[in-house]
Amino acid sequence: MKRLRADLHIHTVLSACAGLSMSPRRVVDEARRAGLALIAVADHNAAANGPYVREIARGEPRVLLGMELQSQEEVEILALFEDADSCLTLEAEVYRDLPDVNCDPELFGDQVVVDEQDNIVRRVEKLLLSPVPWPLARLVKRVEDLHGWTLPAHVDRVPGGLLAVLGLLPEGTWPEAAELSPWVRQAEAVSRWPELAKLPLLRSSDAHFPHEIGRSWSELTVAEPSLAELRAAAEGRGGRRLRAGPHCKEGR
């Protein structure tokens, strides 16, 4: 069993609100600098830069494919996948259903797919910051059907945090874990939202700019850095552990 750091919420230049310098190559460089063993690429309602990040990283760090999906209720969740095709399948389904509102780069920033050589492959037309017109439960179910894992992103935060938007955890078995926003103290979040005490908590950087990668992280005690091990750690199976790292003290 190894103890390692994971940052499971990193944006790239495919997110309009992220810096143009967040190319797949730069993301990998910064993740190595931050000593991360496992990362996930999670752009807004999109995944296309993830495979390039994985290709460049060659296992150092291990890379999960992912998306930060925004539901009809405007709740944001992380969807994490080991399998790239499953993630890209969901990306295509979600893109088809996004509203026909195009991204004006002057207003929102660029949404570009960039390859392992830092070349622009394509620009994404529709604004990825629009919510996907699917109820939260449908998004969660679709991710599960594709063997991915979902958890609420920055659960405490307005906008987009599950508890801020929906006030209470939904009924049922979801979520199995939750991500804290980088700046909130864990004790503060749990005291404001006592239901969080029941859940394993992660923390990630939600990085939009290179220096933000690894500014906050989760600590995993696992056999190897993978999605299956992450899920086992969330369940506390076989001595595996998942723990939110300390809150970020700067750069809010």
Partner 1 sequence: MTVAEVVERLELEALAAGELKATVAGGYCSDLLSDVLAHAQSGDMWITHQRHMNVVAVAKLKEVAAVILVRGAAPSAEMTGRARSEGVTILRSSASAFQVAGRLYQLLEG
Quote helix, strand, coil % in the chain, to nearest 5. Answer: 30, 25, 45
Task: Pick from 129, 146, 166, 223 the residue near partner 1 by CB under 8 A.
Answer: 166
Interface with partner 1 (CB under 8 A), residue from 96, 106, 107, 168:
168
Query: Which among 15-23, 80-88, 101-109, 164-172 is the span making contact with partner 1, rule CB under 8 A?
Result: 164-172
Q: How far is the CB of 169 from partner 1 (least distance, A)?
A: 9
Lookup result for tokens 């809010």: 252
Q: By rule CB under 8 A, what count of residues binds partner 1?
A: 13
Any idea which residue has 């990040």 for tokens?
A: 53
CB of 102 to partner 1, least distance (A): 23
244: amino acid identity, one letter: A
Under rule CB under 8 A, residue 107 binds partner 1: no
For residues 190 and 198, give the distance between their C-alpha atoms in angstroms, rounded to a whole number: 9
Taken in order 43, 213, 57, 238, the sign of the CA dihedral is negative
Q: Does 170 bind partner 1 (CB under 8 A)?
A: yes
What's the one-letter identity of residue 7? D
- Which 54-93 positions form the footprint of partner 1 (CB under 8 A)? 73-74
Work out how close the CB of 168 gets to partner 1 at its nearest, in angstroms, rounded to a whole number: 5
Cross-strand partners of 78: 68, 151
Q: Are 226 and 37 in contact (CB under 8 A)?
A: no
Site for partner 1 in 113-152 (CB under 8 A): 135-136
Residue 171 interacts with partner 1 (CB under 8 A)? yes
**What is the nearest approach in angstroms of partner 1 to the Cβ of residue 129?**
17
Query: What are the angstrom distances between the C-alpha of 134 and each of 93, 155, 159, 250?
Result: 11, 19, 18, 35
Of 68, 225, 27, residue with least CA distance to 155: 68
Minimum CB–partner distance for residue 161 and partner 1 (Å): 8
Among 56, 163, 207, 220, contact with partner 1 (rule: CB under 8 A): 163
- Considering the complex, what minimum distance in angstroms separates the CB of residue 73 from partner 1? 5
Q: What are phi and psi of 150, to 5 degrees?
A: -125, 145
Contacting residues toward partner 1, per CB under 8 A: 73-74, 135-136, 158, 163-168, 170-171
